[in-house]
Structures are given as C-alpha cells and as structure tokens.
Structure 1
C-alpha cells in the first residue's frame, strides 16, 4: 500500500538527476504489505519531508533511521527503507538537506557539494532527534529500540549521531568520511568522537575507496580501542566507494550482500 504525501515537493518517483544513467543491476523492493511514502514531520523550525516504510499491520516496531547519501532521499534510499520494512522495521529516511536546497533536481555533483557543505551538523542531529520523536508518537515506533544506518555522507552522520544519542541501540556506517577540516558547521568528525562512543557501531569500508584513505580508517580503529562501545570496522579489500549502491557502477554484489547480512546480524545482536 502506498501512502505518498502529494504536498511534499521533494518526493521523487526515481533517482536523483546527478546519478544518471542508472545501472541495470538496480534492486527494486515492492510495497506489498507495507505503508510506504513521503510524509512531512515537525522539527524545531517547521517541517521536513521524510520517506517512511513500515509493515501495514502491527505496532511497536523497532525504528531504523536511514541516512541519505549526498544525492538526497532518492529511489535507492527509499528502496533501502522498504527492505528494512520487509524485515519488520519502521524505517525513516529524512530529507536532511531540504532547508539548504533540493539536490534531487541537480544534475551535477559539483552543484550539490556546495549545498551540502552548508548543512550544519547540529541541525542534522536535531532533525534526527525529532524524527525519532515523530516515529514513536505518530508511526507506531518503539523508542527503546532505535538503530541508525547511513551511506557516504550518511555514514559520517551515523558515527556522529551514535555519539550524540547514547540511547540508540546500534549503528551501521557505510563508507562514511572519517576526518576533515573543522568548521563551525562541522566541529567534529567520527575520529574525534570515536573514543567516547558507548553505542556499538559497525563500520563498513572499501579498501579501494579513493575518497576515504585507509590511514583514516586505521585512525578510527585506534580511537575505538579506548571506547566502551565494542564497535567494529570491516574493510573489504577490493571494494570501491559506494559498493552497496546497486544503481551505480561502484556496486559490488558480493561485498554488498555480505555487508547487508552483517548489518542484520549486528542489529539483532544489539536488540534490534
């Protein structure tokens, strides 16, 4: 069952323009047995659109925050939310760039990066807090069983949110950047917060990722040794960046399937 909010301007039926052409390996998950679509939810300074997917019967669902890539909440991120819903989760993917711009309409990543660079981490973390609150109040979610997973930009956010909200059960970060310049908008990065983590996070990285040097992955692992989180980091030696992104040439089926299985086991291990 589809429940798309027609008033949501960023609700797209397909992929972001910047990720065309689409690979023929793309995975499509249907909405049979689900409530799935965009809705607007309240946040501190108004409303933001989110894509949510959940079983159409039952309640008290474990919640998974699904955090977008730089390209926004396009079809791939929506499909991942539906995959979680098929497993019995309430999955929610908020449009975390919407105040700064609708990146789904842009055809060039060089147009997207400056917009995303203006998104303050504090705004993102606050929006995710509000997303959980909405999930519990309005979408039959269980606030005591919350997890988070994210991809690329969302992978970085996954580490930061796990540090921000110690009440969540677990996180899985897919190829998120670990170090960078410190700015007013981005005062900390995953390596900076890793030693203080209490939430267990599984990091999944590609050994051939040109944008995330392996020495930064090693720095993260070193910092995690002094945390109490029992987080883990897996590096797939032959995988590039975005190896789960089945709509792109970077997709690697073997590593993607292994990572997805590890995610499910990690969530179950930690009460999700």
Structure 2
C-alpha cells in the first residue's frame, strides 16, 4: 500500500461548481484516474476513506459531491451510524435529490468530472475507471454508455435499480458500452431481484459487453459502506479485491503482471462464496 495525499477540490460544471475529494499516491508520479460515484447518502468520511483505500493501491481517485446543486458536502446531516430503519426521514431528504439526477444532468456532470481527471497532473494519460455504490452503480453504467471513449472499466456494488421499465433504464444502454464491467449484487436486496439480475446480464451479453456479475450471499443492500447498518465486513473486503483486480487489468498503467486476464464475455457467477 502506498502513502497517499487527500484534499478538497472544486470541479466546474455547466451548472456551477461541484465540491469533490481527490486522493492520490504521494510519490509525485501520475497514476490512472478513477471516478467514484457516491451512494444515496452522499459524500462523507466513510466514502472518503473508501477513496483513500483505492488510491493507496496506485490510483488517483476523484469523489465528487453529486448533490452539489444543493450545497457543499455534507448536504444533509447524517448520524455516525446510518440506519434508515431507525431514521426513515433520511430517505425523505435524499430521494428528491436522487430523482433530480436526470440523464441530461448526469451527462454534463460526468463530462466535467472526466475532463477534470484527464487534465489533472496527478492522473496518467488514458481511460478512467469508474466505480459506483447503490444509486452510484446505476449512474456508473450510464456514464460508461455516455462516454465509451473515456471509460475503460466500471464496477458497481449493491446497485439499483439497474433494470426498470423506463426509457433511461441502464440495461437499455448496454449497446454503447465498451468498458469491462464487474457487478456485485447483494443477496438480500429488493432493488435487484434474481429476475432483475437475469435481465441485466442478458442485456450485457446480447450487447457483447465484457462483464462478470456475482451475487454475494447474505449481504444486504449497502454492504460495502462501513458507516451503515448494512455493512458486511467480509463482503466489503471481497468488494475491494474484485474492484482493484478489475482496475489493475484494465487501466492504462499500473497493471499487475500477475493479474489473470478475464477472457470471458458475458459471465454471470451467482452465489460464489
């Protein structure tokens, strides 16, 4: 693990300025860029710690505040341990902001984030990696479809909804994706039922996307987030292993010589321990 440096930055977008957190190895060298898309609860210490851990593996990580139109992070007051069952009003605050992130707004925001990464001296030349959590996994798929020439790899964890009956459903955009995808679904998650997962996999396979999906048995929606009641330490560690393996083999520099090449196009592995 490398020592890292983290700091707050501002990213100018067509609608204003998005506050963001950047973390990168403290070695003076450029490293592959990674864009982290927040979950519904927003940018907070737990997500910054997640960005730090990715950066310590050899990446320059940008974590923007997707709710910047409502103010700088933290946009809402959150308890130290987030448990929506005990604090249902949290959803009442975040759901309207989630719904505001239309594909049109996402396109303009994501373009600004990717351009910022490409111009940053801490970032190596080449395509970026994207990882998203909960709602961020949905947005990550759409970003990969909107910017196929800019994104090399996408990972999504306990994402949803990835399959809907609306025209902007992520699974309908699979035909535009050139990145390699890895998705880990929670075994206990109403947002992505087995039927949803099957439809998502079918869309990726039909489009010829290079992908792998897995279900983490017993894990709940939000299992990666250490500051939530859904946190599952074993599943969270597995998420880091899979995420970093994906980036190591797909991003332009920093590849691991021992990382196995995934030659499968369309591989869904369910119920693996």
User: Which TM-score band applies after superposition, normalised by the shorter structure?
Assistant: 0.7 to 0.9
CA 1:207–1:223 in 2, change beyond 3 Å: closer, same or farther? same
**1:163 alignment counterpart:** 145
Give me the whole-angstrom Cα distance separating, in 1, the residues matched to 2:71 and 2:196: 30
Secondary structure, in 3 states, of the residue corresponding to 2:206? Answer: coil
User: For 2:133, which of 120, 143, 151 is the aligned residue?
Assistant: 151
Q: Which runs of 5+ in 2 are unaligned?
A: 79-89, 253-273
Give me the whole-angstrom Cα distance separating, in 2, the residues matched to 1:120 and 1:213: 24
**2:223 alignment counterpart:** 243
**1:60 alignment counterpart:** 30
Higher mean alpha-carbon deviation, 127-136 vs 97-106, is at 97-106
Number of residue pairs matched? 238
Over residues 228-252 of structure 1, what are the superposed CA-to-partner deviations in whole Å (9 max), with x where a residue is unaligned? 3211111112211111112222111
User: For 2:196, which of 190, 193, 216 is the aligned residue?
Assistant: 216
**1:24 alignment counterpart:** none
Alpha-carbon distance, 1:195 to partner: 4.0
**2:164 alignment counterpart:** 180
Higher mean alpha-carbon deviation, 252-261 vs 216-225, is at 252-261
Give me the whole-angstrom Cα distance separating, in 2, the residues matched to 1:189 and 1:175: 16
Task: Give the TM-score normalised by structure 2.
Answer: 0.80
Matched, 1:34 2:4: yes
Alpha-carbon distance, 1:45 to partner: 3.0
Q: How does 1:92-171 map to 2 (within 5 A)?
A: 92-100=62-70, 104-106=75-77, 108-167=90-149, 168-171=151-154
Give me the whole-angstrom Cα distance separating, in 1, the residues matched to 2:227 and 2:27: 30
Give me the whole-angstrom Cα distance separating, in 2, the residues matched to 1:211 and 1:170: 23
User: For 2:61, which of 74, 91, 102 is the aligned residue?
Assistant: 91
Give me the whole-angstrom Cα distance separating, in 1, the residues matched to 2:94 and 2:165: 19
Secondary structure, in 3 states, of the residue corresponding to 1:237? Answer: strand
Higher mean alpha-carbon deviation, 232-241 vs 123-132, is at 123-132
Alpha-carbon distance, 1:120 to partner: 1.9
Give me the whole-angstrom Cα distance separating, in 1, the residues matched to 2:165 and 2:63: 27
**2:240 alignment counterpart:** 260
Residues 128 and 251 in structure 2, CA contact (< 8 A), matched pair in contact too: no
RMSD: 2.0
Alpha-carbon distance, 1:179 to partner: 2.3
Alpha-carbon distance, 1:100 to partner: 4.1
Task: Give the TM-score normalised by structure 1.
Answer: 0.81
Q: Which runs of 5+ in 1 are unaligned?
A: 1-28
